[in-house]
Structure 1
Amino acid sequence: MAPHTIRWGIISTGGIATKFSQVSTPHSLRFYSSNRVNHVIYPPSECSSHAQDILVDPSTRDVSDVAHKIAAVGSRSVASAQAFIDKLKAGKAPFDWGAKNGLLDNTKAYGSYEEVYNDPNVDAIYIGTPHTFHHANAKGALLGGKNVLCEKPFTLDMDELDELIAIAKKKKIFLMEAVWTRFHPIAYAVQDVIHSGKLGKVKRFSSEFSKDLDPDNQPYSHRMIDPALGGGSLLDMGPYPSVWAMLVLHHHPLNKSRKPPKLHFSHQTLYPRSNVDLNSRWLLEWEGVSQAMLMTDMSTHGPKESTVYISCEEGDLALEWGPFKPQRFWIIPHPPGAEKSIKVKTEHHYPVSAGGGMAYEADEVARCIRDGKLESERMPWEESRIVQGWFDQVRRAGGGVLANVKGNAGK
C-alpha cells in the first residue's frame, strides 16, 4: 500500500525577517512593536528545520506508512519564498533526498500567508512565525480549512488557544502544537525507565532550559528581547522543561486523575532593558507523584549532564543538555552510603534519525490526518492547555511588561 502523503504549506521562512503587516500584533503590544523582526530561532530556525527534515528519506527512521512533500511556501514576498525553496533544493545529504525524489516539484512560492491558506493543493500548514503571531496565523489556516501544526508556545494566552481549539472542533480539522521532543526515541525511553518502577518512586524532579544568549549584545528587535514578539525566556524556552515534566510526571501511572498539577509559586527576574523575563522558575506538584521545579534562563548556560534530573528511590536519571533534543541519559547510583539497587552508573544513547529530529512530529501529523483524528493522543489539546496555564500564571505573577497583556482571541 502506498504511504499516505501530506502536502505541506510552510508559513514564515525562518531566518528571513517577517513583516508585521503579515499578522495582527496584540493591541496592548503595538506600542512596543519594532520596525523589524529578527526571526532567529534557538534551536536554529525551526521553520527551515521542519522543511528540511520532511525532505529526508523516511526509511532512515523506519517509516513507510506516511510521506511528505512541500506544496507551498508563504513569506513576505514571492522572491523570499522562492529563495527559501531554492535553498531547500540545493540542500546537502540527507536533505537532498526530497529534491531528488520529487518532494519539491511544483512547490508554489507565495508572497502572502493567505495564498497558502487558500491553496487547494495544501493539506496541512506548518506555522513557524514568532509566538505572538501564532494565534492569527493558525486561525487563518483553520478558517481556510487547513490542518495545522503550530510551533510552541502554541499561543500567547489561554483564550487564544481555546479559540483555536473551538475552531478546530467546529470545522473538524486537525490541530497540534509542535512539541517535537515528545516524539523522539529518547522521550519514550525515559518514560519507560521511570514508569516501569525500575528506579522506584520519583522523589524529586527538576528540569531547565538555560542558555547564555548574551542579551545585552542583541538588538532590541531580537525576538528574545522585544515584548512585541513575546520576548523573554518563559514563552520561548519554557516548553522544553515543561515537556519533560509532562511526559515523566503527568503521564506517570500514579497520576490517575490527569488533572493539572498545582502551581505552588513562581518567580521571574526581569531584564531592565525591555522588562521581559531574564529567567523564570516555577514549582509544580502532581499529587501522589512528585513535585517538579522548572526553570528557564537566557543569561547563563545550564548544566551539561543534568538539564533534567529525576531523583528516585533506587537511583537517579539525568538527561543531557539541551532539553529540546537530548541524545543521552544516565542512570546514576545514590551517593556512597545511600546506595540502593542501582550500583553502577550506566549511559543510554538514543539518537534521532538522519536529519534534525522534526520529521517525527510531522509523521504523527500525517498519521492523525490519515486516520481522521482532530488531535494527537501523544500531544493532545488538553496537555497544551495545561502548559499554557502555567505560562499564563507565571507571566502574570512576574510583574513584567507582559504580565497583563492579552492576546487576540475573538478578534
Structure 2
Amino acid sequence: MTFTLRWGIIATGGISTKFAEDLLVDPSTRGSDVAHKIAAVGSRSVASAQKFIDRLRSDPSPNQWGEDGWNAWGLGNGVLDGAKAYGSYDEVFADPNVDAVYIGTPHTFHHANAKAALLAGKNVLCEKPFTFDLEELDELIAIAKEKKLFLMEAVWTRFHPIAYALQDLLKSGRLGKIKRMSADFSMNYQPDTRPDSNRMIDPEQGGGSLLDQGPYPSVWAMLALHQLPSNTDTDPRVVASYQRIYERSGVDAASTWVVSWKGLAEATLVTDMTASGYDDACVVITCEDADVAIAYPPWRPERLTIVPHSKYEPGNIREREVKEYPTAKAGAGMHYEADEVARCIRDGKTQSERMPLAESRITQRWLDDVRKAGGTVLKTA
C-alpha cells in the first residue's frame, strides 16, 4: 500500500506555489513509491489561502512551466480533497490532519516558523537557507531531536537525477583524483531597477546575493567533495572570502569564498546578483584526467559534460562526452525532495541521509563566516 504524506503549506508565494504544484504530479512519472496530499494551507488571511487552493484546483491549463494538465492526476486522486484554508500559520500547525509542514516563507522567518511547527509536534521541511545563522539552526535541531521529529532543509537539487549521476561519475575513479572545483550562481537581477522593499535589496529581509543564492554553489561543493568517499574532513571551513557591497542598502551584490577540505581539494564558490551566469558551465570540477562541467542553471541543471584537458596537458580522456539527465516528465522537480521526506517519515527517520542536518550546519556556517567577514548590513529586526 502506498504511503501518503499529508502536508501543511506555509505561505502562498512563488516557491510555495511550485512546491504545491509538484505535489499534484503523478508519482509514477518519477518512479516514486510514495504519494502526497495537501491537507492545509496557511496564509495571512483565509481568503489568500483559499485563493491558493482554488488556483491549484483550476482547470488544467498550462502551469508556469508550460505544461498542460499538470494538476489532472492530483485532482483525480484526491490530493486536494478536504484541503483547509487558514488565516494563520498556527492553525496549520494545530491541524491534526497535517503530518509535515513545508516552510516557504522569506528566509528571515524560517527560524520562527519552523520552531513553531516543531513545538506543535509537526515534521518540517524548511526552505533554504535553513535559518539566518547557525545559532538559530542549532535551536531547531535541538527541538527536533527532543521531540523526535523529522527536520530537513529543502535543498531540492540534491535529489535530482544529475546530482546522483555526478556523484557516481566522481566515485567511479574514471576521471582520476579531484584537484579543485568552482561553482557559480550569478544572475543579472538588475538590482538598480528594484525598490528598496525588494527582498534582494532590503537587509531586513536578509537581502543580498549570499543568503538567497549561496545554497546552490554550496550544494555542488557538498555533493562533489564533502560526500566523496575519500573525504576525511568532516568540518571544512572558509579559508578566504570577499564581498562586493551594494552601496544603496549595504547588502552584498556579490560574494566569493574558498572552502578547503584538508587532504582533498578546495572549492571556489560565487554568488552575484548583478551579472549573468555562464550558460555552459556553472560548475566546473577539475580532475586528473578530465574536467566536468555542469550547465546553467545551478538549481536545476540537466546537462553534464566531460571535457578533455588541453592537448598540452596530461589526461587519459580525449573525447568530449555530453550527458543529459532530465528531471521527471512533469513538474518543476520539487517533488523529489517531497518524496524523500515522505519516505523518511514512513520509515521512522528523523533526518535524511541524503540531506543530513550535519551538512546543513556546515553550509550555514560558511554563510555566517562570509557575511560577518564581508561587512554587509545584517538584519536588525
TM-score (norm 1): 0.89
Q: Please say if 1:289 is aligned against 2:257.
A: no
What is aligned with 1:87?
Answer: 55
Letter in 1 for 2:77: N
Check the 8 A contact 2:204/2:380 in 1, yes or no.
no
Q: 1:256-293 deviations in whole A, cap 9, x for unaligned?
A: 24x11131111000101110000001011111211110
CA distance in structure 2 between the partners assigned to 1:172 and 1:406 by the alignment = 32
Aligned to 1:301, the other structure's residue is in SS state coil
CA distance in structure 2 between the partners assigned to 1:246 and 1:135 by the alignment = 23
Check the 8 A contact 1:225/1:231 in 2, yes or no.
yes
Aligned to 1:253, the other structure's residue is in SS state coil
Aligned to 1:240, the other structure's residue is in SS state helix
CA distance in structure 2 between the partners assigned to 1:8 and 1:116 by the alignment = 9
Q: Label 1:182 to 1:406 Cα distance change in 2 as closer, same or farther (>3 A).
A: farther
Q: 1:102-154 deviations in whole A, cap 9, x for unaligned?
A: 11011000000000000000000000000000000000100111000000000
Check the 8 A contact 1:252/1:289 in 2, yes or no.
no
Q: Please say if 1:246 is aligned against 2:222.
A: yes
CA distance in structure 2 between the partners assigned to 1:128 and 1:358 by the alignment = 12
CA distance in structure 2 between the partners assigned to 1:46 and 1:352 by the alignment = 18
What is aligned with 1:181?
Answer: 157
Q: Please say if 1:68 is aligned against 2:36.
A: yes
TM-score (norm 2): 0.96
CA distance in structure 2 between the partners assigned to 1:96 and 1:66 by the alignment = 18
What is aligned with 2:102?
Answer: 126
CA distance in structure 2 between the partners assigned to 1:392 and 1:256 by the alignment = 23
Letter in 1 for 2:21: Q
Check the 8 A contact 1:151/1:178 in 2, yes or no.
yes
What is aligned with 1:8?
Answer: 7
What is aligned with 1:55?
Answer: 24
Aligned residue-pair number: 372
CA distance in structure 2 between the partners assigned to 1:95 and 1:271 by the alignment = 41
Q: 1:182-223 deviations in whole A, cap 9, x for unaligned?
A: 000100000111121110011110001000000000111111
- When structure 1 is superposed on structure 2, of 283-292 and 157-166 the one drifting more is 283-292
CA distance in structure 2 between the partners assigned to 1:246 and 1:200 by the alignment = 18
Letter in 1 for 2:139: E
Aligned to 1:198, the other structure's residue is in SS state coil
What is aligned with 1:112?
Answer: 88
Post-superposition shift, 1:339? 4.8
Runs of 5+ consecutive residues of structure 2 not aligned to the other structure: 62-68
Q: Please say if 1:77 is aligned against 2:45.
A: yes
Q: Please say if 1:342 is aligned against 2:308.
A: no
Q: Please say if 1:310 is aligned against 2:285.
A: yes
Q: Please say if 1:277 is aligned against 2:252.
A: yes
Aligned to 1:295, the other structure's residue is in SS state strand
CA distance in structure 1 between the partners assigned to 2:159 and 2:6 by the alignment = 21
CA distance in structure 2 between the partners assigned to 1:291 and 1:162 by the alignment = 26
Q: 1:295-339 deviations in whole A, cap 9, x for unaligned?
A: 000000011111000011000000000110001010010012225
Q: 1:221-271 deviations in whole A, cap 9, x for unaligned?
A: 1111111110000001000000000011001122124x1113111100010
Letter in 1 for 2:166: V
Post-superposition shift, 1:100? 2.0
Post-superposition shift, 1:96? 2.7
What is aligned with 1:390?
Answer: 366
Letter in 2 for 1:48: T
CA distance in structure 2 between the partners assigned to 1:241 and 1:220 by the alignment = 26
RMSD over aligned CA atoms reads 1.1
- When structure 1 is superposed on structure 2, of 347-356 and 85-94 the one drifting more is 85-94
Letter in 2 for 1:3: T
CA distance in structure 2 between the partners assigned to 1:155 and 1:274 by the alignment = 21
What is aligned with 2:64?
Answer: none
CA distance in structure 2 between the partners assigned to 1:142 and 1:406 by the alignment = 25
CA distance in structure 2 between the partners assigned to 1:61 and 1:196 by the alignment = 25
Q: 1:145-178 deviations in whole A, cap 9, x for unaligned?
A: 1000000000000110000000000011100000
CA distance in structure 2 between the partners assigned to 1:75 and 1:217 by the alignment = 28
Post-superposition shift, 1:406? 7.8
